[in-house]
C-alpha cells in the first residue's frame, strides 16, 4: 500500500490488497472524499463563539499578567468566599472551579497538571487549618500553576470571574425561573418537580446569605490579624 493507507479501515485495506497502485490510489481518494463529506460539520456560531472567547482570554491574560495578582487576587478571593468568613474552604474552591473552563489554560506552563482541590489547598494552606485566608491565597496561588493560569485568562476587567455566581445571583436566577414556571396554567409532572426543587434551593440560599452576612459582620468587628 502507498503512504497514508493507515487512514483506511482494516477491511478497506484488505479489499484493496493486490490491486494495481493506480487503482488503489483512485479508490483511496474516493474513500477519503466520502469520509470527509460524512463528517459532521462544525456550527459556524460555535466557531465564532470559541474565537470570541479566545480573544477575551488573550485580553484578560495580557491585562492580568501585567497587573499581577495583587491587583485582582483579593477581589477573586472575596468573590469565591461565599460564606464571607474570610477563608476559602474545600467546598468553596470546588464551587469556584465549576465557573472556570474545563480545558487546559493556554498560558499554563509546560508540564502543568490539573491538581485536585485537596492538593491545591495543601499547596496554599500554610497553617494547616484546611482552609486558605487571603494572605495564603495571594502568597501561594502561583504554586497551583493550572489554577493561576485559568484565573489570569478568565478574570474580567472588574477583577472577577464572570461565570461565577454568588449566592445572591444564584437566588435571583432561581427566583426568575420559578416565576416563569408559575406563569404556566398547566405544568407537567417534571415541571412540578423542578418547581419544588427550585423553591427549596431559594430557601436554602436565603439562609446561606443570612449566615454569610452575619459572618461578614463578625469579620469586620474582629481585630486585624497579626502580620
Domain harbouring 76, CATH code: 1.10.238.10
Whole-Å CA distances, 223 to 53, 214, 219, 227:
43, 16, 8, 12
> What's the structural domain count of the chain?
2
Q: What's the grid cell of residue 94?
A: 470546588
3-state SS assignment for residue 155: strand
Which of 124, 143, 164 finishes a domain? 164
pLDDT band at 1 (very low <50, low <70, confident <90, very high): very low
Indicate the angle between helix axes 117-124 and 90-97, nearest 10 degrees: 120
Tell whether 113 and 182 lie within a shared domain: no
Tell whether 152 and 77 lie within a shared domain: yes
| Best CA proximity match to 115, nearest among 160, 149, 92, 88 | 149
Helix H or strand E segment including 72: helix 69-80
Structural domain includes residue 44: no
Write out the residue range of the structural domain in which residue 190 sits. Answer: 168-221
Average pLDDT over residues 194-213: 97
Structural domain includes residue 37: no
Which of 124, 139, 164 finishes a domain? 164
Global pTM?
A: 0.71
pLDDT tens, position by position, 61-75: 666 666 678 889 999
pLDDT tens, position by position, 72-103: 999 999 999 999 999 999 999 999 999 999 88
Amino acid at each position: 500500500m502507498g503512504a497514508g493507507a493507515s487512514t483506511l479501515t482494516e477491511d478497506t485495506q484488505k479489499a484493496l490488497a493486490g490491486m494495481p497502485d493506480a487503482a488503489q490510489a483512485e479508490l483511496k481518494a474516493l474513500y477519503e472524499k466520502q469520509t470527509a463529506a460524512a463528517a459532521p460539520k462544525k456550527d459556524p456560531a460555535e466557531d465564532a463563539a470559541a474565537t470570541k472567547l479566545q480573544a477575551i482570554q488573550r485580553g484578560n491574560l495580557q491585562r492580568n499578567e501585567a497587573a499581577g495578582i495583587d491587583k485582582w487576587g483579593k477581589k477573586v478571593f472575596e468573590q469565591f468566599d461565599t460564606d464571607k468568613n474570610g477563608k476559602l474552604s474545600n467546598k468553596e474552591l470546588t464551587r469556584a472551579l465549576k465557573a472556570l473552563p474545563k480545558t487546559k489554560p493556554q498560558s499554563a506552563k509546560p508540564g502543568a497538571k490539573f491538581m485536585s482541590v485537596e492538593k491545591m489547598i495543601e499547596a496554599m494552606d500554610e497553617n494547616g487549618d484546611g482552609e486558605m485566608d487571603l494572605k495564603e491565597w495571594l502568597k501561594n496561588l502561583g504554586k497551583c500553576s493550572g489554577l493561576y493560569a485559568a484565573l489570569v485568562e478568565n478574570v474580567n476587567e472588574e477583577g472577577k470571574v464572570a461565570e461565577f455566581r454568588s449566592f445572591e445571583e444564584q437566588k435571583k436566577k432561581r427566583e426568575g425561573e420559578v416565576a416563569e414556571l408559575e406563569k404556566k396554567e398547566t405544568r407537567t409532572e417534571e415541571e412540578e418537580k423542578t418547581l419544588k426543587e427550585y423553591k427549596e434551593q431559594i430557601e436554602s440560599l436565603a439562609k446561606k446569605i443570612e449566615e454569610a452576612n452575619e459572618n461578614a459582620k463578625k469579620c469586620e468587628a474582629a481585630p486585624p490579624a497579626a502580620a
